[in-house]
Amino acid sequence: MTAAAAPTLRTARTARTAGGTRARRGSALLGLLAWLCGVAFFLPFAWMLLTSLHSEQDAAANPPHLGAALTLHGYREFFGSGTGVSPWPPLVNSLTASLAATLLVLVLATPAAYALSIKPVRKWTDVMFFFLSTKMLPAVAGLLPVYLIAKNAGLLDNIWLLVILYTSMNLPIAVWMMRSFLADVPVAIIEAASIDGAGLPTVLVRIVAPVVMPGIAATALISFIFSWNELLFARVLTGVVAGTAPVFLTGFVTSQGLFLAKVCAAAVCISLPVLAAGFAAQDKLVQGLSLGAVK
Amino acid sequence: MTTPSITRRIRAPQAGRRTASPTAPLPPRGAWARRAPLLPALLFMIVVTQLPFVGTLVISFMRWNALDPGDRGLAGFQNYKTAFTDPDLRSSMTTTVVLTVAVVMVSLVLGLGLALLMDRKFLGRGVVRTMLITPFLVVPVASALLWKHALYNTSYGLINGSLTWLWSLFGSHDAPQPDWLSVAPLLSVEASLVWQWTPFMMLILLAGLQSRPADITEAARVDGAGAWQIFRYLTFPHLRRYLELAALLGTVYVVQNFDAVFTLTSGGLGTANLPYTVYTTFYQAHDYGQASAQGVIVVALSIIVATFALRTVSSLFREETR
């Protein structure tokens, strides 16, 4: 709250003290520059969106045909009428894997973060670094044994295998994030409440939960985004039944050839859940990415 | 599974001799109550990440190609020898380093510039921030496909299309139409990754900027400090930990990048990085022993990077807990 208000205050003061038209013109120019950068970074996505709404012929025009008629043809093709392959099973798989992994991450990370912050165990920093070090272990280094075990256990092409791997992928970051959010809970209040006779459940619900809820939301969002985006594990370990949306997308291009509008429509559709979640929770995203270092 | 039983065997005689309660040598109950919430996460991580790596280590000393199942056995250091003399693996090591350093540095600098711009108040700041975040939120495979087909494509990509349009403004019909992915393959991959990771850097640095205490800056300004001095002596030192955090997290993810290399160039023309090379050895050549040896080498290299990175984080961490 204070963090968001601070720059506003600062800029207002600057304007008052600096005053002059030159400063104001400089400020306007920097604002314009920010807009130009924003548009530049948004342009490729905007182009993908526009292309997805064009007919294949207009999409492949050189020079680009900006004012071409808009059509939902690419999207209709993507959702199966033209290709005979429905994108719904992969989308449902992705949703299942991402949501289940996120849930499991929260269930495992919350108590761990509690043990590492509010009542820290001995050598808790070592534990924290163990968690982070697993993130540095490249995914490819453990992929083959996982593949062989899954193959022998008949777990290949099974969405729950991905859930377990995605959980391990996001758990370290989640523990780090949640720890810093939990470290914010004033211990004095917890102790005061215990002395007044409040049990652990009451303390958790009344004191801890309100402080860490935004942190839990941020952790969940990041875990969801990284799970939804994952390609390598999904490509190696799933097949016909459990393929996720990113795997479907790569296969879609191979099987459909270069139908640009269709490919763009597919890319937009598959990015949509993450885009929607990210746009809706921008502040949470910032907090989460800085591992909770900023409130 | 084995650890508890060994512990019990060691402790059993002691407990018997003392005839006290068998839990006596264990730490007091409170310590276990404190540790219990940590155990599920810790055990989960050990089982899911450390055990498979032990498996990789074992397989790396084996002769094991799935296409030749009869010839399976102990290989000693043969796989490592092959890996180190393999020019492809060596070039993919260089590629990984070049790719990671270039992408992290460029996106960090761009991210810093954008964060400084976004820290000021201007009309439509929320809209601009949303536009800037978009590349980070597009699914990586989708963004790789976007760059490959909609932007880089020789005949109808946006870049060459724009060149055609620009040239036509001057009445020319022979605009240059380079095939970007073969003219500058690594640079093309880097550009798409910079586009994707700059917003990530910007978000972390913006968070850092907005956590900066405003009164100190104000005091410096009253004392007559210029914009550059404020940045150099106040903003930059404050931002340092955020720059390090951004670089560290960026490195962790870019080193492991698979999606962009896989989609844009399929590792061709010197763009294969280590994860992609291991993937092809395992998934296409089916040489499990060789792939495992490569995987172990990747881990050894990562440990060097990680030690460095963890030291950085630990200094941050000490600062925070102080």
Q: Assess whether pLDDT exceeds 90 at residue B305.
A: no
The helix-helix angle for A140-152 and B274-283 (nearest 10°) equals 20
Q: Do A6 and B210 touch (CB under 8 A)?
A: yes
Q: Assess whether pLDDT exceeds 50 at residue A2.
A: no
Q: Best of B141, B198, B308 to disrupt the A interface by mutation (most A CBs within 10 Å)?
A: B141
From CA A140, how far away is CA A231, in angstroms rounded?
12
Residues B245, B251, B253: CA angle, nearest 5 degrees: 105
Residues B191, B195, B196: CA angle, nearest 5 degrees: 120
| pLDDT, tens digit, 9 for 90 and up, residues A212-246 | 888 888 899 989 999 999 998 998 888 888 888 99
Residues of chain A found within 8 Å of residue B59, distances taken between Cβ atoms: 144-145
Enumerate residues 5 to 24 of chain B having a beta carbon within 8 A of any beta carbon in chain A.
none
Q: Do A164 and B48 touch (CB under 8 A)?
A: yes
- Binning pLDDT at 50, 70 and 90, where does residue B28 land? low
State ipTM: 0.82
Residues of chain B found within 8 Å of residue A146, distances taken between Cβ atoms: 52
Q: Do A127 and B136 touch (CB under 8 A)?
A: no
- Binning pLDDT at 50, 70 and 90, where does residue B108 land? very high
| pLDDT, tens digit, 9 for 90 and up, residues A168-189 | 999 998 998 888 888 878 778 8
From CA A233, how far away is CA B147, in angstroms rounded?
23
Tokens for A280, please give them.
Answer: 């809706």
From CA B157, how far away is CA B121, in angstroms rounded?
36
Amino acid B9: pLDDT: 33
Instruction: Give percent above pLDDT 90 in chain B.
Output: 19
Question: Is A34 at the interface with chain B, CB within 8 A?
Answer: yes
Burial B219-245 (b: 16+ CB within 10 A, else e): ebbeeebeeeebeeebbeebbebbbeb
Residues of chain A found within 8 Å of residue B144, distances taken between Cβ atoms: none
The pTM of this model reads 0.83
| pLDDT, tens digit, 9 for 90 and up, residues A22-40 | 777 778 888 899 999 999 9
| B313 to A133, B105, B250, B308: CA distances (angstroms) | 11, 18, 13, 9
Amino acid B1: pLDDT: 32
- Binning pLDDT at 50, 70 and 90, where does residue A75 land? confident
Q: Which residue has the higher pLDDT, B322 or A156?
A: A156
From CA B128, how far away is CA A285, in angstroms rounded?
16
- Burial of residue B195 (CB within 10 Å: 0-12, 13-18, 19+) is buried
Mean pLDDT of B148-154: 85
Enumerate residues 106 to 125 of chain B having a beta carbon within 8 A of any beta carbon in chain A.
113-114, 117-125
Residues of chain B found within 8 Å of residue A165, distances taken between Cβ atoms: 48
Q: Do B49 and A59 touch (CB under 8 A)?
A: no
Least confident range from A2-6, A38-42, A135-139, A282-286: namely A2-6
- The 10 Å Cβ neighbour count of residue A25 is 10
| pLDDT, tens digit, 9 for 90 and up, residues A85-133 | 788 888 999 999 999 999 999 999 988 988 888 777 777 888 888 888 8
SS3 content of chain B, % helix, strand, coil (to 5): 75, 0, 25
With tokens 């780090």, the residue in question is A176
From CA B149, how far away is CA A263, in angstroms rounded?
9
**Which residues, including other chains, have CB under 8 Å from residue B122's CB and lie 6 or more apart?**
A27, A28, A30, A31, A34, A35, B128
Q: Do B267 and B186 contact (CB within 8 A), yes or no? A: no
Question: Is B130 at the interface with chain A, CB within 8 A?
Answer: yes
DSSP chain A: -HHHHHHHHHHHHHHHHH-SHHHHHHHHHHHHHHHHHHHHHHHHHHHHHHHHTS-HHHHT-SS--TTPPP-SHHHHHHTTTTTS--SHHHHHHHHHHHHHHHHHHHHHHHHHHHHHHTSPPTTHHHHHHHHHHHHHS-THHHHHHHHHHHHHTT-TT-HHHHHHHHHHHHHHHHHHHHHHHHTTS-HHHHHHHHHTT--HHHHIIIIIHHHHHHHHHHHHHHHHHHHHH--HHHHHH--TTT--HHHHHHHHHHHH-S-HHHHHHHHHHHHHHHHHHHHHTHHHHHHHHTTT---
Tokens for A2, please give them.
Answer: 């204070």
Enumerate residues 182 to 221 of chain B having a beta carbon within 8 A of any beta carbon in chain A.
195, 198-200, 203-204, 206-212, 214, 217-218, 221
| pLDDT, tens digit, 9 for 90 and up, residues B186-221 | 999 999 999 999 999 999 898 888 877 778 888 888
From CA A76, how far away is CA A69, in angstroms rounded?
16
Least confident range from B27-36, B38-47, B94-103, B141-150: namely B27-36
Q: Give the three-class secondary structure for B8.
A: helix
- Binning pLDDT at 50, 70 and 90, where does residue B17 land? very low
| pLDDT, tens digit, 9 for 90 and up, residues A49-70 | 998 898 877 877 777 777 778 8
DSSP state, residue B265: T
Residues of chain A found within 8 Å of residue B285, distances taken between Cβ atoms: none
Closest approach of B86 to chain A, Cα-based (Å): 19
Q: Best of B138, B188, B290 to disrupt the A interface by mutation (most A CBs within 10 Å)?
A: B138
Amino acid B197: pLDDT: 94
Question: Is B315 at the interface with chain A, CB within 8 A?
Answer: no
From CA A53, how far away is CA A71, in angstroms rounded?
5
Amino acid B301: pLDDT: 80
Instruction: Give percent above pLDDT 90 in chain A.
Output: 24
Instruction: Give percent above pLDDT 70 in chain A.
Output: 89
The helix-helix angle for A260-280 and A282-289 (nearest 10°) equals 80
Q: Assess whether pLDDT exceeds 50 at residue B2.
A: no
For A185, phi and psi rounded to 5 degrees?
-70, 120
